[in-house]
Every structure is written in structure tokens, then in C-alpha cells.
Amino acid sequence: MQFLPVLRRGGAPLHLWIGRTYVAGCLVGGAAGLVLAAGSHAGPIASTGFGVGGAAWIATTLLGWRAATQGRLAEHRRWMIRSWALTLAAVTLRLYLPLVAILDLPFIPAYRAISFLAWAPNLLLAEVWLRRRGR
């Protein structure tokens, strides 16, 4: 809903309150992700993948929030598109996990790969979309 122009016009209060809630959720989720990444049973590769994803989620969200508070709205939109792509990592992970079982892949090596594949392609697609849209 946040990407609908009608909700953003003139600093609409609904957009502001949904945005504040989203930022708070991303910060809590990102911090929890960092804590959980450190304890991954799949080893340091998975810890790194999930940790970098969580740190990127926090960073993009904070950069987007800061741009909004400073009135740099075009920059805000770009950062929040990146943040949303990272938010969807939880969905992407849950799409990959059944594939591991369906393809009968060894779980731990696949999970290590998924720790990066859950968020990196999402972020890459967001970047490609932003660059094409910026032309």
C-alpha cells in the first residue's frame, strides 16, 4: 500500500504512520535476524549470509527513513524499494525451502546457499528495476 501514489500525496498521515510502523518492524526484525544469524546451526557461511542480509535490511530502511525526514523524497522512495526487496527475503526463503525437499538436495549445503539467495537476488532485481526506471 505504501507504494500507491494516493497514499503519499501531500505527506498523507496514513502513509506516515504506516511508514513509521514499517520502519520499527524492520529494525526489530533486522536486529532479531542478526542475533539469530549468529547462532545458525548451518555454520559460519549461513551466519554470514543471514547476517549481511539483516544488516542490509536495517541499513536500507534507516537510509530511507533519514531521506524522508530530510525531505529527499525521490531518494527515500529508492531506499524503501530496496528495503522492501530485503523484507521479502523471508518470503523468498520460504519459496526455496520446499524446493530443497522436492529436488532432494542435501539440506545444510542448500541452506547455506539460501542464506544468500533469500535476499541477494531480491536486492539485485530492485537495483535493476531502479536503474531502468531512472533512465
Q: Per residue in 69-87, pLDDT tens?
A: 999 999 999 999 999 999 9
Q: Hey, how many other C-beta atoms are within 10 angstroms of the C-beta on 39?
A: 8
pLDDT at position 1 over 60: no
Q: How far apart are CA 116 and CA 119, in angstroms?
A: 6
- Sequence ranges of the domains in the chain: 5-134
Whether pLDDT at 89 is above 70: yes
pLDDT of residue 120: 97
pLDDT band at 111 (very low <50, low <70, confident <90, very high): very high
**16 Cβ partners below 8 Å, 6+ apart?**
none
pLDDT per position as a tens digit, 4-52: 565 656 667 788 888 899 999 999 999 999 999 999 999 999 999 999 9
